[in-house]
């Protein structure tokens, strides 16, 4: 658990040191991609706790989820459907589910 947390802190430092900024009109896509990434990380933690972790599935899942979520929102915007909220809801639900499972594992130990 130490390694992921240090990774997160390193990422935060890199992100705040480099002056990268997303144009305002793409901020929505970024936020959905972020949520997808968060979901993937929790999913990975859960799989690690269940001892079912698969490296390739985790890494590919992370990137495809984020990209797919962003592109889904983009298509939705083109079609005039607010898929943004759908993605938010789906990922939010999964994050909570994963968190609950992880918590149970923690408590069992």
Partner 1 sequence: MLPIKQGQAAIAFVCVILGIMLAVQFRTTQDIRSSVPFQRIEDLSQRLSQTEKERDVLQKQLHELREKPGLETASREMEIVKMGAGVTPVQGPGLSVIIDDSKRQSKPGENPNLYLIHDDDILKVINELWAAGAEAISINEQRLIASSEIRCAGPTLSVNNTRYSPPYEIKVIGDVKTLENALKMRGGVIETLQFWGIQVAIKKQESLVIPAYKGTFRFELAKPVKDGGQ
Kindly state whether residue 99 participates in binding partner 1, applying the rule CB under 8 A.
no
Max distance between CA atoms of the chain, in angstroms, equals 48
Compute φ and ψ for 7, nearest 5 degrees. -60, -45
Residue count, binding to partner 1 (CB under 8 A):
43
Looking at the Cβ atoms of 79 and 107, the one nearer to partner 1 is 107
Kindly state whether residue 79 participates in binding partner 1, applying the rule CB under 8 A.
no
CB-based burial of residue 90 (10 Å sphere; 0-12 exposed, 13-18 middle, 19+ buried)?
middle
Looking at the Cβ atoms of 78 and 108, the one nearer to partner 1 is 108
Looking at the Cβ atoms of 1 and 79, the one nearer to partner 1 is 1
Angstrom distance (rounded) from CA 3 to CA 107: 21
Kindly state whether residue 92 participates in binding partner 1, applying the rule CB under 8 A.
no
Angstrom distance (rounded) from CA 57 to CA 33: 18
Contact 95, 38 (CB under 8 A): yes
Kindly state whether residue 67 participates in binding partner 1, applying the rule CB under 8 A.
no
Contacting residues toward partner 1, per CB under 8 A: 1, 3-16, 20-22, 24, 27, 30-31, 33-34, 37-38, 40-41, 44-45, 47-49, 51, 53, 55, 58-59, 62, 105-106, 108-109
């Amino acid at each position: 658990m130490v390694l992921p947390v240090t990774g997160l802190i390193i990422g935060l430092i890199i992100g705040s040191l480099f002056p990268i900024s997303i144009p305002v009109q793409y901020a929505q896509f970024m936020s959905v991609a972020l949520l997808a990434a968060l979901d993937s990380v929790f999913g990975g933690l859960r799989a690690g706790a269940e001892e079912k972790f698969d490296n390739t599935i985790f890494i590919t899942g992370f990137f495809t989820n984020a990209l797919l979520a962003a592109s889904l929102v983009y298509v939705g915007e083109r079609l005039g459907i607010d898929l943004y909220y759908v993605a938010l809801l789906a990922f939010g639900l999964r994050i909570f589910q994963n968190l609950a499972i992880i918590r149970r594992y923690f408590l069992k130990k």
